Amino acid sequence: MRFPVVIGLRPSFFLRGAGLLAHGVAASALLGLDLGLGGIAALALVVLGALLAWRAGRPSIVGLKLLADGRIEIAASLDEWRSAEVIPPLRIHPWLTVLRVRSEDSAHVLAIAPDSLACEDFRRLRLWLAWRRRPGTDLRLGPETVSG
């Protein structure tokens, strides 16, 4: 793998669809209740607001830069990179990867589905997360030995 690996992220239609389905199921469960006309109108406004927010939603992180020394950089826009660290725990699966990253001024939880990025980039990200060198470790002494 050649470093740095720059990965562009885009919204996942799979995750958006799952969220929309969950909201639809919750709304249909509420429709079974006797809410009256005012309650149904309020529920319709909430659903409309959720749909508008869903359509206007932009990811807060649009790019990841994976570095050879185990560090990661995040981008809120593709021309502004900030150093960050991966915070455990993280989940790496073939269909969903969830990781937490923290920079100097913010923390983010990234749920990355296979349709959020190119297939090869998804494989590289999962591989890097599983085998990355943790900053502050000396691999010559073993993966859990901290140098210094």
- The dihedral sign for the CA sequence 116, 120, 125, 127: positive
Cα 85 to its chain centre, rounded Å, is 14
pLDDT at 47 over 90: no
- Domain residue limits, the chain: 1-132
pLDDT for res 101: 95
How high is the pLDDT of residue 122? 97
Residue 144 burial (CB < 10 Å; 0-12/13-18/19+)? Answer: exposed
84-96 mean pLDDT = 93
The per-residue DSSP string of 54-116 comes to HHH---S--EEEE-TTS-EEEEEETTEEEEEEEEEEEEE-SS-EEEEEEESS-EEEEEE-GGG
pLDDT tens-digit series, residues 128-137? 999 886 655 5
Helices (H) and strands (E) in the chain, counts: 3, 6
138, pLDDT greater than 70: no
pLDDT band at 93 (very low <50, low <70, confident <90, very high): very high
How many CA atoms does the CB half-sphere of 69 hold within 13 Å? 9
Q: Per residue in 101-114, pLDDT tens?
A: 999 998 999 999 99
Structure tokens at 9: 């992220």
pTM of structure: 0.74
Whether the pLDDT of residue 145 is over 50: the answer is: no
Higher pLDDT, 4 or 133: 4
